[in-house]
Amino acid sequence: MINISDLHFHYPCSEFRLAVSEFAVSSAEKVAVVGPSGSGKTTLLNLLAGILTPDQGKVQVGEIAVSNLGDAGRRDFRISNIGFVFQDFELLDYLSILDNILHPYRITGALKLSAEVRQRAIYLTEQMGIAEHLKKHPGELSQGEKQRAAICRALLPNPSLILADEATGNLDPSNKTRILDLLFKCVEDHDATLVAVTHDHELLPRFDRVIDFQAFQAGGGS
């Protein structure tokens, strides 16, 4: 599913350097990426999503060589293939929960908002147990409910790859387990691949594979 080879990246005006010689994730695999802050975990997710472009090397997701795409191509790729779950949920305060979940369909021409999509959004919220909050705004929801809404938004376009950047970072232990259960269930139901950055070592046994990103960068192993 994911193949990265000879990847080099740096931010302008920063000494940070990311170098990955080989990185591969199989289809439908659930991979946890761990490592200290500043090791480049989030940067890796952004490179996989096509938000950032590498200085050198190749990023391939499925049949698509993401690193070779232009701006518009990467955007279309992201919309069609990636579901991103952000650490701070990144829900928009001024939109209702339903509008937040449907948001990707309103900001891109590549996704068409239809009655079917709305139905599916409602179905997802029912699965996540937040169906009664559709008309509420994020400010009225608990952290766990917000994260479930963010997961619904990521899953709605049926992405083949789900990238979760410390998706459980802000949650209490009971909610962490619950959210991870839901995320795994959705990933399995949709036959998607999951790459999740996490600091939470208690959750690691539940993933198919764990990559220590610092060690991985230094030695290239997993």
Partner 1 sequence: MTASLYLAWQYIRFNKFKTVILVASITLIAVLPLALEILLAESERQLLNRAKSTPLLIGAKGSALDLAMNSLYFDDEVPEVMTMAAVERIYDTDLALPIPLYVRFQARGLPIIGTSFDYFEFRNLSVAQGRSLTMLGDCVLGAKAAAKLGLGPGDSLVSSPENLFDLAGVYPLKMKVAGVLAANHTADDLAVFVDIKTAWIIQGLGHGHQDVTRTRDSTVILKRTDGNVAANAKLFHYTEITDDNLDGFHFHGDTSIYPLTAIISVPNDEKAGTLLRGRYLEREDAQQIIQPAEVIDGLLQNIFRIRNVLDAVIALVGLATLLTMALVFTLSLRLRQREIQTIFKLGCRKAMIGRMLLAEILIILLVSSMLCAVALQITDANAEELVRRLFVG
Binding site for partner 1 (CB under 8 A): 49, 51, 72, 75-76, 78-79, 84, 86, 90, 92-96, 99, 103-104, 106-108, 110, 113, 137
Tell the smallest beta-carbon distance from residue 205 to partner 1 (Å): 30
Residue 50 and residue 37 in contact, taking contact as beta carbons nearer than 8 Å: no
- List Cα–Cα distances, 55 to 58, 59, 88, 198, in angstroms: 10, 11, 28, 26
Tell the smallest beta-carbon distance from residue 94 to partner 1 (Å): 3
Tell the smallest beta-carbon distance from residue 155 to partner 1 (Å): 13
CA distance 178 to 17: 35
Tell the smallest beta-carbon distance from residue 75 to partner 1 (Å): 5
Nearest residue (CB) to partner 1, 49 versus 182:
49
Q: How many CA atoms lie within 13 A of 31 on its CB side?
A: 22
Nearest residue (CB) to partner 1, 81 versus 125:
81
Tell the smallest beta-carbon distance from residue 207 to partner 1 (Å): 23
Q: How many CA atoms lie within 13 A of 15 on its CB side?
A: 0
Nearest residue (CB) to partner 1, 197 versus 203:
197
Nearest residue (CB) to partner 1, 24 versus 113:
113
Q: In what order do the strands lie in the sheet with 64-65?
A: 17-25, 2-10, 56-61, 64-65
Tell the smallest beta-carbon distance from residue 163 to partner 1 (Å): 10
Q: How many CA atoms lie within 13 A of 75 on its CB side?
A: 9
Residue 10, token pair as written in the block: 């740096």
Q: Checking phi first, is residue 220 left (phi over 0); if not, alpha (psi -120 to 50) or beta?
A: left
Nearest residue (CB) to partner 1, 90 versus 200:
90
Nearest residue (CB) to partner 1, 108 versus 214:
108
Residue labelled with tokens 């990955």: 20
